[in-house]
Amino acid sequence: MYKALRWYLIVFVVLAAMGWGLEIAGRADVGDVSIDHSALFHPEEDFHDRAAFGDLTDVKDRTVRLSAAALHKPGFVAFPYPPAAAFLFKFFNQGFSNGPAAYLCCFGLIAVVAVGLVAMRLGRGQRLALAVLLTTALLGSSQIFCANRGNLELFSGTFAAAGLGLFLGGFGWAAAVAVGLAMCVKPFPALLLLLFLWRRQWAQAALAIAVCVLVSTAALYVLGPSVPAAAKIILTCWADYFNQQVVVLNIVQELKTDHSLMDAVKLVLWRVLGDDFLDVKLTDSDLPVWARLDLWVSFFEVFAVFAAAFVAWFFRRGPVLNQVFALVLLMVLLPFISSEYTLMLLYLPCAVLLVRMSQGGWAGSPRQMATIAVLLALLFAPLNVLGVYAGLAKTVLLLGLFGFVARVPLGDSAEGRHLLKDA
C-alpha cells in the first residue's frame, strides 16, 4: 500500500508543480491557444472579472427578478440547468454584494468539512495517506477549475457525495434524499438510483425520485407563470444550449478541459476538418455523415442507454465500491459536455478506497495498487495546462479506470449484495 501511495504522490506532485507553475507564470498557453479560464484565475485579472467566474455570473442579470421568462434570453449564454438550480444562481448573484466571494467561501467550507471527515476516518497513524489527501485537496485540478468557473457542480457533487457516503454508511433513506437533491441541480446523479435498484430498495429509489420531482415542480411553480408554461420555457433553454454548445465544435479551450466521450469525437473532428470549423454548428445536411454533430448526439443518446444497461447488468453482484466507481465514471463520461470540475465526483469513492487501504480493507496486489494510484494521479493533476490534448488524455484515463474497476474487485462481492439490507 505504501509504495502505491508514494507513486501517487510522486506523479501527482510533479505534474501539479509543472502545471500550476506554468499557469502562475502565465506560460500555460499552447501555441495560439489561450486558456484564460482553464484553472486558476490569473493574478492580473480583477477578482470580479466575468471570465474568472463566468458560469456563476453569466446569468446574473437574469436573476434580478427571477422567473422562467427571464431565464430565456435569446442571443446570450443559454440556461442549461434544471429549474431548481436557478435559485442557487439567485442566492449567490443577488443575495451578496460579491457573489463570487460568497461562492468561494461556501466552496472552502464544504472542502474543509469533507477533508476533515476523511482525515478523521484515516486516524492519526496514517501520515502518508493524510499527505495524499491534503495534497490532492490543495492542488487537484478539478476543484480549482470548479472554483474558478463558479460552477454548480460544487452543489451537485456535494449532494451526490453525501448520498454516496450515507449509502455506504447504511443510511439508505437519508442517502435517497441527498441523491434526489443532487438530481435537482444536474441530471446525471440519477444513475446513482441503480445502487438502490440493485438491492431491491424500491422505496429508497422512489423517495429519491419524489424529492427531485417535488423540488423541481415547486421551482417551476415559483418561476411561473404556471408549472407547464415554466417547464416549456426551461426546455427551450435546454434546446438553445444544445444549439450553442453541443452541436457546435467548441473553442479549443473547452476541448482541452472536456473529457466526455462526445468531446473526444469533437477533438477528432477539429483535427480532421481544421480551424475554419471551430465555433461552427455542424448540422448541415451537406456535411459528411461522420462530421454531423446532430447525428453524433443521437448516437450517444442510444449509447448512453446501452452503457447504463450494461453497467446495471455487469456490476449487479460486484463489490459496492466497484459499483460506485462504475456509476461515477458513467456520470463523468456520458454527458455531452463534461468539464474538468466533474472529476470532483471521483473524490468520494477515492476517499473511501484510501480509508480502506489504510485500514487493510482492500489488499490488492502491488501492481494493482500502483496501477490505480498512477491512473488517479494523472486524472487529478492539472494536465489541461500542459497540452491541447489533455481532455482526450483524461478520457482515455477514465476509460482505463473503468476497465480496472470492471476487472479488479475492491472488496467482497457479498458486501455489495447485503449493504443496506436492514436500512
Residues 80 and 237: beta-carbon distance below 8 Å = yes
Summarize pLDDT for 198-248 with one digit per residue, the tens.
Answer: 999 999 999 999 999 999 999 999 999 999 999 999 999 999 999 988 998
In whole angstroms, what is the distance from residue 121 CA to residue 98 CA? Answer: 35
Residue 196 clears pLDDT 90, i.e. is over it: yes
Torsion of CA 300, 305, 308, 313, to 10 degrees: -130
Summarize pLDDT for 254-300 with one digit per residue, the tens.
Answer: 777 889 999 999 888 888 888 788 888 899 888 899 999 999 999 99
Percent helix / strand / coil, the chain, rounded to 5: 70, 0, 30
In whole angstroms, what is the distance from residue 373 CA to residue 6 CA? Answer: 9
In whole angstroms, what is the distance from residue 363 CA to residue 174 CA? Answer: 30
Summarize pLDDT for 93-116 with one digit per residue, the tens.
Answer: 999 999 999 999 999 999 999 999
pLDDT band at 417 (very low <50, low <70, confident <90, very high): very low
Residues 406 and 307: beta-carbon distance below 8 Å = no
User: What percentage of the chain has pLDDT greater than the value 70?
Assistant: 89
pLDDT band at 88 (very low <50, low <70, confident <90, very high): very high
Summarize pLDDT for 7-59 with one digit per residue, the tens.
Answer: 999 999 999 988 888 777 765 443 333 334 333 333 333 333 345 788 898 89
| Contact partners, residue 410, CB within 8 Å, separation at least 6 | 319, 321, 322, 325, 353, 356, 362, 364
pLDDT band at 86 (very low <50, low <70, confident <90, very high): very high
pLDDT band at 386 (very low <50, low <70, confident <90, very high): low
* Exposed / middle / buried, residue 322 (Cβ in 10 Å: 0-12, 13-18, 19+): buried
What is the grid cell recorded at 51?
471570465
In whole angstroms, what is the distance from residue 170 CA to residue 206 CA? Answer: 17
In whole angstroms, what is the distance from residue 148 CA to residue 56 CA? Answer: 10
Least confident of 107-111, 132-136, 284-288, 404-408: 284-288
Fill in the DSSP letter of residue 171.
-
What is the pLDDT at residue 312?
96
| CA terminus-to-terminus distance, the chain | 33
pLDDT band at 91 (very low <50, low <70, confident <90, very high): very high
Query: What's at 260, amino acid-wise?
Result: S
The pTM of this model reads 0.91
Question: What average pLDDT is seen over the chain?
Answer: 87
pLDDT band at 388 (very low <50, low <70, confident <90, very high): low
DSSP string for residues in 346-377: GHHHHHHHHHHHHTTS----HHHHHHHHHHHH
Higher pLDDT, 75 or 195: 195
Average pLDDT over residues 347-351: 94
In whole angstroms, what is the distance from residue 98 CA to residue 185 CA? Answer: 22
Axis-axis angle for helices 347-358, 127-139 (nearest 10): 170
What is the pLDDT at residue 76?
86
User: What percentage of the chain has pLDDT greater than the value 90?
Assistant: 64
Write out 225-247 in H/E/C secondary structure.
Answer: CCHHHHHHHHHHHHHHHHHHHHC
pLDDT band at 418 (very low <50, low <70, confident <90, very high): very low
Average pLDDT over residues 162-183: 96
What is the grid cell recorded at 129?
495517506
| Contact partners, residue 385, CB within 8 Å, separation at least 6 | 19, 20, 22, 23, 28, 35, 38, 39
What is the pLDDT at residue 356?
87
Fill in the DSSP letter of residue 62.
G
DSSP string for residues in 128-160: HHHHHHHHHHHH-HHHHHHHHHT-THHHHHHHH
Write out 71-118 in H/E/C secondary structure.
Answer: HCCCCCCCCCCCCCHHHHHHHHHHHCCCHHHHHHHHHHHHHHHHHHHH
In whole angstroms, what is the distance from residue 204 CA to residue 282 CA? Answer: 42
